[in-house]
Each structure stands twice: as C-alpha cells, then as structure tokens.
Chains A and B, each alone.
Chain A
Amino acid sequence: MPKKVVSGNYAAAYAAKHARVEVVAAYPITPQTSIIEKIAEFIANGEVENLQYVPVESEHSAMAACIGASATGARAFTATSAQGLALMHEMLHWAAGARLPVVMVDVNRAMAPPWSVWDDQTDSLAQRDTGWLQFYAENNQEVYDGVLMAFKIGEHEKVNLPVMVVESAFILSHTYDVVDMPEQEEIDEFLPPRKPLYTLTDFENPFSVGALGTPADYYEFRYKIAKAMEEAKKVIKEVGKEFGERFGRDYSQMIELYKTDDAEIVFMGMGSLMGTVKEAVDILRSEGYKVGAAKVRWFRPFPREELYELAKNVEGIAVLDRNFSFGQEGILFNEAKGVLYNTDAKPIMKNYIVGLGGRDITVNDVKAIAKNMKEIIQKGKLDREIEWYHLKR
C-alpha cells in the first residue's frame, strides 16, 4: 500500500480495518466521529469482510457490547472521547477485570463544563486506575502503528488486558499527514487471528465468567491483573522491536528519548505537544542550550525503569502536563516524581500546566520554559513547583 495522506482519525480507522477487526460498537462524539464514519464507509464499499457494526445508544453500551463481543472470541474495537469515556468508566473496569483485550481509540478532549471539544489529556488520565494500558500518539503515524500494536499486545497470552490508544483532538484527529501503511499480507503476518483466553461459544466445557469473589479470593484476582501489567512491559518492548524489524519504525522504548544523551534539562510530556517540543529542542540546541525531550509513549504500565535511567543523568526535568488533577498536581508530574522518590536519581523537577482545553502550545512557550528551568538549575532550587503557564487572568 502506498503512503496515504490521512487524518489521525482515518489512520485509526485504517488500522482497525487492517487489523481485521470483527465487531465495532461505538457512539458518536466530536471529535471521534470520523473514525466510525470511515469504518462505516469501508463496510458500505464492501472493503471489509466479517465486520459487524453495532450503532449503540450510548458509550456505556458501546463498551458493554465490545465486552460481550470480545468474550465471544471476536476482535472488538471502539472509539470515544471526554464525556463518552467518562460515561463508560464502569465498563472500563469491567473489561480489564474480565481480561478482555478490547482496543479503544480515545481522542483526548477536555471535560465539560464548560463545554470544550479541544485537546486536553485529563479525560484519558482520569481512567489510569482501570487496568487499561495507555499509549499516547505524537502524530498520525503513531496513531496507526499504535492501534496495530495494541491488538497484538493486548491479545498476548501473558497480558490479556484492554489497550487505549490516545490521540489529540483536532491536532491529530482532524489534521492530515502522511502515514505509511504496510501491505495487508505483512500486517497479517505481524498480527495473526486472535487466540482468546476463553470464549463463550465453548459448549463442550461451558465457562462462567466474572462471578462473585469473596474477600477470600478477590485479592488474588486483582494481583493477577497487576502481574499481567508488569508482564506487559516486556511484551511491549518485544512487540515494539518486532514492529521495527518488520516495518522500519521501532517502538521498543516506552519513553522515546530525543537528544537527551548530554542534556542538562529534559522536557517530559505525552502526545502531540511533544512534536512542538522536539522542534523547540532543535532551536534551543542551536542557541546553546543543552536540552532534550523525553516523550512518554506508554503511560500504563508506567515505565519506571526507563524513567530512572533517564533521570540519573539529567539535572532538571520540566514536565509539561496538558492535564490537571484538582487538589494535587499535573498527573504525569505526580507519577514521575513519585516513581523517582525512592531512587537515587534526584533531578530538579517542575510541573508546567500547559494547553488545557486545546490552548496552543508554541515553540516560543517551550523556549520560555527552557529559560525558566535554566535559571532554576543555576539557583539550585525551585521558584514554585507547579506553574500554570501564562495564566491570563
């Protein structure tokens, strides 16, 4: 297949098609609608076989239908955003607890009120405790690759957990970029048909799934999920490496490091804003700053070891959070700081809250942050720990 110029949403739809998804149950919400519209177009043009599309009546039912489909052994896919993701929260727990590898694309959008359709990471990060793996895409290519890898990682026999591929509203979902899509045969080799952990069509040995767990047993069930998450780190690295060998783009690192080898200051963040940060890093380097960028690809499972390896060798980390947990700090900052507490890596870490609700983050903003971090490192202490960058009023 030649390279296609597609939006992030269309890239996700193509990835679902190439992954030979069997059941799609979704409910429309801006800015996810074009994913489902594209999939419906595939069905209308006869480009997919064995794909059942269920136009459900709410996001909660969408996740419930995907769970039912996945329990029957089918490959299930859905997509949603902000309010819809919040509505399906109960069923996110259910998918992880029932160990079903549903794949969902979440288009990061700000939570209402006030109503906003623009980019904000709070919606997906608010689901970090549900047991879903989370992959944050920087550009449309990563959305496409992420969805393909999500199926392989989630369905791995050691994992069996659902995976969320997160992209930015409008910045990725509706802007067009070049995406390289491999041939269907190559993808079929990478992603063979699913071998489910259990299936409800097994009438010889009927299973019952998800029964009541008394205090004597519940604890061990949850430990199994925690263990699967840990195993997932190894599986992510293996699959990322295989992806690189087959298709030329390596994803074996859970944190993508950009010019961090000799960096004093590292910008850490997730998603599309890191594209801007990488541009700014190039410009800052030409101006003599020793800066680098660390893009956290996988937020769950959190890459503790890789973060430690990075933090050992830098003096300052500026964490850019396009999200906020009220009553605490930016979520990525909070988690990264917590991971490093019991280690001997103690860089100066500062939290910059940027771009909530889709406010633009520009190269100049990153340069200003770099200047601020440089001053802090020279002084040796923080001016303030959390900075709401450029609060207007």
Chain B
Amino acid sequence: MAESPFKADIERVQKEYSEKMTPGAIVYIPGSSVVNKTGGWRVFMPQFNREKCIRCFMCYTLCPEPAIYLDEESYPVFDYDYCKGCGICANECPTKAIEMVRESK
C-alpha cells in the first residue's frame, strides 16, 4: 500500500488532450486531474510523528484532497505532491502526531 493511488498516466493525459478536441468538451480519462500537482500551493506542511500515531485513520478520513493514504502497516503516508497544507489532519489528530511546520524550500 505504499504506492500512492494517485500515480496516473500523466503522459497519456497530456498527450491525448493536446491533440484531441472532444465534442461537447468531453473528458474521457477520469482522474486526469492528477496531472496538476497542487503540492506547490503549500506554506505549511504536515510533519508526521510515527511513534505517537495510534492508527485511528482520522487524518486519512478527513483529508479533502485526499492526499493521505495508508501503507502496508496501516500508518498514514502523506503525498506531498498534492498536500495543500490546510492543516485539517493536524487539527483533528487526537494524539497530536501531526505538526504543521513552515515549509522551507
């Protein structure tokens, strides 16, 4: 489960739609939004403390993107390609295992 479920066929999306104009503005590749890496929007990023995590899955449930998925041991993995840094996960974590730190680029 450590493979992010959002790895999409980015090349196919970019290639097909640059050549084809579909009648009625049809989008025939669902999930083509993954081409847009919204991780660049962040100011703060979630920092995860694995020891404190009790695997309640609140962060995974409440992420609006969603940019959190679960690994083989069911701990959350943060997909920083898409995390917008809203901070809901940190705010809702019952053990404060997630901390929002200012991202230094």
Alpha-carbon distance between A224 and B26 when the two chains are bound, in angstroms? 13
Contact assessment for A207 and B28 in the assembled complex, using a CB-CB cutoff below 8 Å: yes
Contact assessment for B27 and A208 in the assembled complex, using a CB-CB cutoff below 8 Å: yes
A224 CB contacts on chain B under 8 angstroms: 21, 23
A99 CB contacts on chain B under 8 angstroms: 23-24
- A44 at the A/B interface (Cβ < 8 Å)? no
Alpha-carbon distance between A210 and B27 when the two chains are bound, in angstroms? 8
Which residue on chain A has the smallest CB distance to residue B21? A220
A208 CB contacts on chain B under 8 angstroms: 26-27, 30
Which residue on chain B has the smallest CB distance to residue A96? B24
- A78 at the A/B interface (Cβ < 8 Å)? no
- A98 at the A/B interface (Cβ < 8 Å)? yes
Q: How far, in Å, is A220 (CB) from chain B's closest CB?
A: 5
- A9 at the A/B interface (Cβ < 8 Å)? no
For B30, give its contact among A97, A206, A211 (CB under 8 Å).
A206
- A197 at the A/B interface (Cβ < 8 Å)? yes
Q: How far, in Å, is B28 (CB) from chain A's closest CB?
A: 6
Which residue on chain A has the smallest CB distance to residue B29? A205
Q: Mark B9-38, 1 if CB is under 8 A from A, else 0.
A: 000000000000101111110100000000
Alpha-carbon distance between A34 and B25 when the two chains are bound, in angstroms? 37
Which residue on chain A has the smallest CB distance to residue B17? A217
A197 CB contacts on chain B under 8 angstroms: 23-24
Which residue on chain B has the smallest CB distance to residue A223? B21
B27 CB contacts on chain A under 8 angstroms: 207-209, 211
A81 CB contacts on chain B under 8 angstroms: none
Contact assessment for A198 and B21 in the assembled complex, using a CB-CB cutoff below 8 Å: no
Q: Mark A221-242, 1 if CB is under 8 A from B, else 0.
A: 1001000100000000000000
Q: How far, in Å, is A388 (CB) from chain B's closest CB?
A: 42
Contact assessment for A160 and B28 in the assembled complex, using a CB-CB cutoff below 8 Å: no
Alpha-carbon distance between A217 and B22 when the two chains are bound, in angstroms? 10
For B25, give its contact among A160, A205, A213 (CB under 8 Å).
A213
Contact assessment for B30 and A209 in the assembled complex, using a CB-CB cutoff below 8 Å: no
Contact assessment for B25 and A221 in the assembled complex, using a CB-CB cutoff below 8 Å: yes
Contact assessment for A160 and B23 in the assembled complex, using a CB-CB cutoff below 8 Å: yes
Contact assessment for A210 and B25 in the assembled complex, using a CB-CB cutoff below 8 Å: yes
Contact assessment for A209 and B21 in the assembled complex, using a CB-CB cutoff below 8 Å: no
A213 CB contacts on chain B under 8 angstroms: 25
Contact assessment for B24 and A210 in the assembled complex, using a CB-CB cutoff below 8 Å: yes
Contact assessment for B24 and A198 in the assembled complex, using a CB-CB cutoff below 8 Å: yes
Which residue on chain B has the smallest CB distance to residue A100? B24
B21 CB contacts on chain A under 8 angstroms: 217, 220-221, 224
Which residue on chain B has the smallest CB distance to residue A219? B21
Alpha-carbon distance between A294 and B22 when the two chains are bound, in angstroms? 38
A198 CB contacts on chain B under 8 angstroms: 24, 26
List the 6 closest A-B pairs by CB distance, nearest first.
Answer: A99-B24, A208-B27, A220-B21, A98-B24, A99-B23, A206-B30
Question: Which residues from chain A sit less than 8 Å from chain B, CB to CB?
Answer: 97-100, 160, 197-198, 205-211, 213, 217, 220-221, 224, 228
Known A209-B25, A217-B21; 11 more pairs at CB < 8 Å:
A97-B24, A97-B25, A99-B24, A198-B26, A206-B30, A207-B26, A208-B26, A209-B24, A209-B26, A209-B27, A210-B24
